[in-house]
Each structure stands twice: as C-alpha cells, then as structure tokens.
Chain A
C-alpha cells in the first residue's frame, strides 16, 4: 500500500484525515501540519487509521497532541482504529496503554459520527 495523507471535509464541517500505509518519524511533521491546518476551520476532526499499516511513537505523539488541540478549540475528535488497521497500530496502542486515553472508534463512520462537536 502506498503511503499517503488525505484530508476530506464531510457533512457538518468535519475534516477526515486518512493515513494510508506506514507513518513514522519521517512523516510525523507532515501529519502534524495537516492536522493543524484542519483544526483551523473544521468543527471536528476524525483521523482514520483503518488503512494504516504502521505507526510509531512519533506519530502517536502527534495524535495525542491533536486530541488536546481539538479539545482546546472546542472541536470534536475521534480516531478510527479498525480491524483492518495494521497489527503494529493495535500493538503500539495496547503496549503504551494509550488506547484508553485516545478517543478511538472501530470504524471510519463511527469516528466521523463521534467527531461531531457536542
């Protein structure tokens, strides 16, 4: 799978950031930049990891910061971690215990619904 970062605005002004393939220190800055840009105008942010095959702690830090930034701005936030997400994605979240801290949902659709501001 080719690596990529896509951002799409869906109904309700929610931005969906999709990470495809592998992401680590080499792409973490780009992921962070795209998230910051989305949060400037979106009502909510859903990050879709259902097509993500690998992330490391550099990307995990970006995701945690994104959740904090969204909360500061009153925007909704959720991350889709699906069965189709790579083993490394599930493993890193479990090993760090951050699966309990991040607002995760089991599908892209559920994450978008959860990212709607309260």
Chain B
C-alpha cells in the first residue's frame, strides 16, 4: 500500500489544447501508484470533464485566462481541485455540450463540491477512491 503523499499543481491557459495536458499529467502521477488502469481511466475522464467545463464557461468570448489544477494523493484517495478565475457560477444557457459533464463527474467521484473562492472564479473539488472500482 502506498502511503506517501504526493501533490502536483498544473496551470494551463483556458483553451482546448490544455485539456489533454492535464489528463496526461494526472496519468503520470497515478501510474507510479498501485492503481488499476480502469480507475486511472475514470479519473482521467472526470478531470477532463471538469477542465472542459472551465475552459468553455469561465472565460466567454475567447477571453484570456488560466485554470489551475491541483492533485493531491493522500492515503487511499486522490483529491483534485480545478480552479478558474473567470466569471463565476451562474445559470448558463450557452453550453455547447450535452450537459452531461457534471453527472459524469458525480458518478465517478466519491464527492464533488463546487464553490466560489475568494478572488473570484469557480472551484470544483473532487475526491476519488484509488483502491477499487470508481463510483
């Protein structure tokens, strides 16, 4: 059983090309741990959906901005925070997606919290189990 704590922080431009970079970095972190390929794939899917949500909604009309992703491995779980500094939470009718991103995240993660941190923007905090089937 892996007991060491690890933490990575990634900052990307809020644009589509950054999304796969986050996924690859997360896999890199998880590949060194005793985690099944299926769990890694599930977490990669959930975090991709969270990043896509931030890219699409936080900075409308192509406004520049950044997204910060923090992943911490503590004990038997992984905590991932996706934080933007964009326009914050609001009712949105401009989504180009299916509206399934958040339900997919909720189905995979043990817990999901969405908040408005000091300084503006939106922060999604997800917690994943690493020792068995996700969800």
Q: Are A24 and B96 in contact (CB under 8 A)?
A: no
Interface secondary structure of A, over-half rule: helix
Interface size classification for chain B:
20 to 34
Contact flag A64-B98 (CB < 8 Å), given A54-B45, A57-B104: yes
Identify which of residues 13-50 in chain B touch chain A, using a CB-to-CB cut-off of 8 Å. 16-17, 19-20, 23, 37-38, 41-42, 44-45, 48-49
Q: Does B8 contact A (CB under 8 A)?
A: no
- Output the least CB separation between A108 and chain B (Å): 22
Q: Are A88 and B52 in contact (CB under 8 A)?
A: no
Total A-B pairs in contact (CB under 8 Å)?
69
Q: Does A1 contact B (CB under 8 A)?
A: no
Number of interface residues of A (CB under 8 A): 20
Considering only CB atoms, which chain B residue lies closest to A60 in the complex? B98
Considering only CB atoms, which chain B residue lies closest to A86 in the complex? B41
Considering only CB atoms, which chain B residue lies closest to A90 in the complex? B41
Q: For A87, what are the chain B residues with a Cβ–Cβ distance below 8 Å?
A: 37-38, 41-42
